[in-house]
Chains A and B, each alone.
Chain A
Amino acid sequence: MFPYIPISKQDEEKMLQTIGVDTVDELFTDIPDHLKLKRPLDLPKQKSEIEIRRIIQKFAEKNTAACDKLCFLGGGVYDSYIPSIVPYITSRSEFATAYTPYQPEISQGTLHGIFEFQTLVANLTDMHCSNASLYDGPTAATEAALMSFDNKKKGDTFLISSTVNMVTRQIIETYLKYRDFKLVVIDEKDYVTDVEDFKAKIGKHVVGVLVQSPNHYGLIENYTEIFAGAKENKALSIMYADPSSLGILKTPGEYEVDIAIGEMQQFGNAMHFGGPHLGFMAVTKKLMRKMPGRIVGQGLDHDGKRAFVLTLQAREQHIRRDKASSNICSNQALNAMGATIYMSLMGKQGIRDVAINATNKAHYLYEKLVAIDGVEAVTTKPFYREFMIQVKDHVAVNNKLSEAGILPLLVVDAEKNILQVAVTENRTKEDLDYLAKTMEVIS
């Protein structure tokens, strides 16, 4: 039977001798003494593999996975259906273990995949060009904010609508904390961006304006006036868009924004307990060389055959790296590959169909829920696949839902007892009727 660290006393001595120290403790001399544990870890004596597996399995069972319960959670992460071809292809070792594609001579498959991802993102958002992906939606939004400051050196303020997801706003705030940049929130009115407040806050000092579509409450806003105001003041227009909505809602390109960003987890990627997810960024041709992150380009090899290679690297890591708004080189290649497979499988019509399906279901459920005594509508504004309801006691409702096998709903406003319901194409009519029936009993 092995102990937890499978090394014999003799092996240990030999290894220590080879590197020239007497004890294992000597390897940790750099760590201050008061931080050291000074006793063995509190672990049971060695156990067999089969015993350990049983114990860990018990721990794991304490989690409730989204697939075990009924999920109406949204707010930026969505339980969308993942076609089985996606993990089938992404689990191939060529993709699953591929390292950063520095060397085009050995990485044509990965580079080609990223090139297709960029093309699909550009098509979906109606923008000129996309990068190879970023960590997640909120960090993509942060990169867009940094780009805005870099693009307009004479400005010092970045505007964010208060209807942008709070998490996104907090992450931007954290990144900018030690920079001389100001973040100003545009107030909301009746759950949409207050255009009058925007007009009061926009000016020549503003470098960029960020809004979210559909907004954090699931509502569809009209951003025409806001983007026009940004343009007039030479501030960048930035739209954080739900990619799944772009088959039916106005796209960033149609709005003529400068930067489109967002979270693409729901395209072929699991919710992963909140990450890793998949941020995307697409920009106009004018901003192409200011876009952070990797870009894969198409060229010809010395035999004149089509080949792919990292391109425009001067911005991020070579001769202009000190001038770049960001030196981020990472991307989410494997998740981007999942999204690439998803998008090519669904196609233009499929992405549209999924969006219409989710919208119809969400509206069906909304009508059912607000008809229940004790459940009130919060706003009559148009929504996509996420909506708010007001209940009498959100804690009681969520407890009862849990007991009924439904994951607790997202609390938008605890004081006002406002909850949010998200409906993806993954929910069936039976699921919706079950939630409505359960709510009827408890409200």
Chain B
Amino acid sequence: MKVLENLLYTQEHEWLKVEGNTVTFGITDYAQHMLGGIVYVELPEEDDELDAGDQFAVIESVKAATDIMSPVSGKVIAVNEDLDDEPETMNEKPYEAWMVKIELSDASELESFLDAKAYEELCTKEA
């Protein structure tokens, strides 16, 4: 199971890549393992305004349908439309198959997330 060094992680097994005021968001290798074959991803629309905790996406796998909550508040500035046709890339390359890019409205929200080391510990504990 892969955990990348330069990312932030949520308790819900999602990764965030912070670049200035922009956050790129996806699910981790651990998450895609747990979900199994992903068959469909429902994404928000560009310009959607999000509050942290808003349900903004759904991942449907052969095992389950999972609601995805926005980890941060802000505005959706890009969605990965490639996932419409190739949702399986989330299984194959979880750290490349990003879901959305969000422009942060409150950078302090980032403080609560885990670094790679803490996230690895979380996974070990849950496994």
Contacts and interface: CB of A to CB of B under 8 A. Distances in A.
B65 A323 contact: yes
A414 interface: no
A319 B64 contact: yes
A234 interface: yes
Contacts of B40: 289
A153 interface: yes
B contact face: mostly helix, strand, loop, or mixed: strand
B45 A314 contact: no
Contact of B45 (A234, A289, A323): A234
A154 B64 CA distance: 25
A47 interface: no
Nearest to A288: B40
Interface residues of A, number: 8
Given A289-B42, A320-B60, A314 B65 contact: yes
B112 interface: no
Contacts of B67: 323
B57 to A, nearest CB: 12
Contacts of A153: 54-55
B116 interface: no
Interface in A243-294: 289
Contacts of B58: 320, 323
B55 A314 contact: no
B48 to A, nearest CB: 8
Interface string B25-65: 00000000000000010100100010000110010100011
A319 B40 CA distance: 13
Contacts of B60: 314, 319-320
Contacts of A323: 58, 65, 67
A314 B62 CA distance: 10
Contacts of B42: 289
Interface string A285-306: 0000100000000000000000
A314 B60 CA distance: 9
Interface in A207-238: 234
Contacts of B54: 153
A320 B67 CA distance: 10
A314 B40 CA distance: 11
A187 B58 CA distance: 37
A289 B40 CA distance: 9
Contacts of A319: 60, 64-65
Nearest to A204: B49
A314 B66 CA distance: 12
Nearest to A321: B65
A17 to B, nearest CB: 51
Nearest to B39: A314
Contacts of B65: 314, 319-320, 323
B67 to A, nearest CB: 7
B16 to A, nearest CB: 23
Contacts of B55: 153
A377 to B, nearest CB: 46
Contacts of B45: 234
A314 B65 CA distance: 8
B35 to A, nearest CB: 12
Nearest to A312: B40
B123 to A, nearest CB: 24
A314 B38 CA distance: 13
A154 B54 CA distance: 10
A334 to B, nearest CB: 32
Interface in A139-168: 153-154
* Minimum-distance CB pairs A-B, first 10: A320-B65, A319-B65, A319-B64, A314-B65, A314-B60, A289-B40, A289-B42, A234-B45, A323-B65, A320-B60
17 contacts: A153-B54, A153-B55, A154-B49, A234-B45, A289-B40, A289-B42, A314-B60, A314-B65, A319-B60, A319-B64, A319-B65, A320-B58, A320-B60, A320-B65, A323-B58, A323-B65, A323-B67
Given A319-B64, A323-B58, 15 more contacts: A153-B54, A153-B55, A154-B49, A234-B45, A289-B40, A289-B42, A314-B60, A314-B65, A319-B60, A319-B65, A320-B58, A320-B60, A320-B65, A323-B65, A323-B67
Interface of A: 153-154, 234, 289, 314, 319-320, 323
Interface of B: 40, 42, 45, 49, 54-55, 58, 60, 64-65, 67
